[in-house]
Amino acid sequence: MKTIIITKGIEYRWLRDIFPGRHPLLVTLCNKPFIEFLIDFCILAGSTGIRIISDEVMSDVEKHCENGSRWGVEISYANLLPTDNVQKVIEKNSRFCSNERVMVINGLLFIHYDKRSDYRSFFASLPVGEVIECSNGNISLTGAASGAEHQEGAPPLSLPVVDGIDKYYRLAAGILHERLTHYVLPGYNNEPDCFIGRNVVLQKGVSVIKPVIIGNNVQILAGSIIGPGAIIGSNVIIDRESRVSESIVMDNTFIGEQLDVDRKIAEGSLLIDPESGCSLTMEDPHLLSGIKQPTTTGSALQWLAHRIAAAWMIMILLVPYLVIKPFLEWSGLLKTKKIVYHSVIPGENVSLTFASIEKKSVLGTIALFLSLDRFTWLFKVLNGHFALIGCRPVRTDQTIQAANNNLGLYRPGVFSYSEAEKWPENDIDSDIVDHYYAVHSNFIKDISMTQKALFNRINQESSI
């Protein structure tokens, strides 16, 4: 048997809003990513191949699950259009399905199952059609049954509706209190109701009250009380004399000293009350904050090249800018307005003077030829808010696509890659080019693309 897992972005928008830094399929439930529960279930049901299909970027999921060798199954990935129905998806993936029995998990579902039950013969014996459904989606079967008989009664199988933070919390609490033995969960489990990950440091005087799940690389400082009902993620520090009970502390979170976290979800500097859905962002990093992961230094050379090139352009263009600008303003060919854009630094904004020059006179032509409308933007490259060439900057009244933000595809530039290519006709085309070069660029390519962008701008009638 094979399995197709279909998820559409619109189904998990709420998860993106609450946990913006990660793909919804990688949001953890009891320290286990959502997708791993689905993969475990597919394997229990007898699947040898799993295809994860989404209408959104899945690079993070692909990086996490790879080809499935960790589970002994073959995992592949495909995309669909938001308008595609199940039948269309099966048609588009007909080579993968190849006349075999296929289980279709349609929707971002959490499946209640029990790892000790026999799902293999159960699914092999079921007729074609829907097996189970909930408001989040359904599980169905296509392809002929193998003819195998299922001897026992139907194994436990249900689909709890998870469509909000309150239900997410109740689901996690339910697993922790009642179903810990039903799933394979990460961590050492030498005694019941207690899972502890690698590299966990419990200082003197720490109390751990079961049931509890603790992730990897966790430091719990002296005098803290963890549990009952605590789920502590990975890379977490809980400072001294704090108490965490009936709560979820997500990965990469710091809990300050002498805090009492009860029936809450802590994610970075965000504290959520799951019952009311209210959330509070802590400004004081000593109380609650995110733990930053080290960033790669691979792009350092690229940024250095951008800064040197920007400094060189400033030196070259300074005199023309100072001479031509007053004349353009006087003749009304230069119009300026302030616009605030998202910076490349997450959470920061940058205010820029958006200048539009019309190519009606010799001076206007020269100004456009020299890209003087972007002159003041070059200083933002020096302070690291902008790249010399990158994607088109997004105004703060617009939202950066979450997927792009996560993948590091948002790198606004003084000049955009789409200006360097001649084919883009609309914003979608420009996005394609910007995304392509955001991934495939290097500092040598960036310099040649900047030259192309400068050259293409010469032919523009105006800089608007």
Partner 1 sequence: MTIIEKNINNFSIVSLRGILNASSAPQLKTHFEQSPENQPVVIDLEQVDFLDSSGLGVLVGIARKKKAASAVFKLANLNERVKKVFEITQAYTLFDIYDDLAAAACE
List of residues contacting partner 1 (CB under 8 A): 55, 57-59, 77-79, 81, 91-96, 403, 407, 409, 417, 421, 423-425, 428-429, 431-433, 435-437, 439-440
d(C-alpha 211, C-alpha 226), whole Å: 10
d(C-alpha 245, C-alpha 88), whole Å: 47
Label residue 229 left, alpha or beta by phi (over 0 means left) and psi (-120 to 50 means alpha): left
Question: How near is the Cβ of 381 to partner 1 at its closest, in Å?
Answer: 23
Residue 245 φ/ψ, nearest 5 degrees = -135, 145
d(C-alpha 100, C-alpha 96), whole Å: 9
Question: How near is the Cβ of 60 to partner 1 at its closest, in Å?
Answer: 11
| Closer by beta carbon to partner 1, 135 or else 426 | 426
- Give the largest CA-CA distance in the chain: 90
| Closer by beta carbon to partner 1, 79 or else 331 | 79
Question: How near is the Cβ of 135 to partner 1 at its closest, in Å?
Answer: 26
Q: Side by side, which strands form the sheet with 225-226?
A: 207-208, 225-226, 243-245, 260-262
Question: How near is the Cβ of 305 to partner 1 at its closest, in Å?
Answer: 21
Closest CA to 56 of 10, 108, 17, 107: 10
Instruction: Identify the DSSP state of 462.
Output: B
| Closer by beta carbon to partner 1, 60 or else 241 | 60
| Closer by beta carbon to partner 1, 293 or else 448 | 448
Question: How far are the Cα atoms of 10, 30, 197 from residue 26, in angstroms, in the given order?
Answer: 16, 12, 18
| Closer by beta carbon to partner 1, 4 or else 173 | 4
Which residues are paired to 315 by β-bridges?
Answer: none
d(C-alpha 210, C-alpha 262), whole Å: 15
| Closer by beta carbon to partner 1, 305 or else 403 | 403
Question: How near is the Cβ of 41 to partner 1 at its closest, in Å?
Answer: 23
Closest CA to 376 of 332, 423, 429, 321: 321
Question: How near is the Cβ of 96 to partner 1 at its closest, in Å?
Answer: 6
| Closer by beta carbon to partner 1, 96 or else 354 | 96
Question: How near is the Cβ of 79 to partner 1 at its closest, in Å?
Answer: 4
The amino acid at residue 346 is: P
Question: How near is the Cβ of 439 to partner 1 at its closest, in Å?
Answer: 5
Give the angle 396-297-67 at the CA atoms, nearest 5°.
90
d(C-alpha 328, C-alpha 335), whole Å: 9
Is the separation of the CB atoms in 97 and 4 below 8 Å? yes
Closest CA to 305 of 450, 145, 152: 450
| Closer by beta carbon to partner 1, 103 or else 226 | 103
* Two tokens, residue 195: 């899972």
Residue 61 φ/ψ, nearest 5 degrees = -65, -40
Question: How near is the Cβ of 443 to partner 1 at its closest, in Å?
Answer: 18
d(C-alpha 400, C-alpha 391), whole Å: 11
Question: How near is the Cβ of 320 to partner 1 at its closest, in Å?
Answer: 32
| Closer by beta carbon to partner 1, 317 or else 407 | 407
| Closer by beta carbon to partner 1, 48 or else 376 | 48
| Closer by beta carbon to partner 1, 73 or else 265 | 73
Question: How near is the Cβ of 437 to partner 1 at its closest, in Å?
Answer: 7
d(C-alpha 321, C-alpha 355), whole Å: 12
Name, in order, each residue with C-beta under 8 angstroms of 209's C-beta and a sequence gap of 6 or more: 225, 226, 227, 228, 245
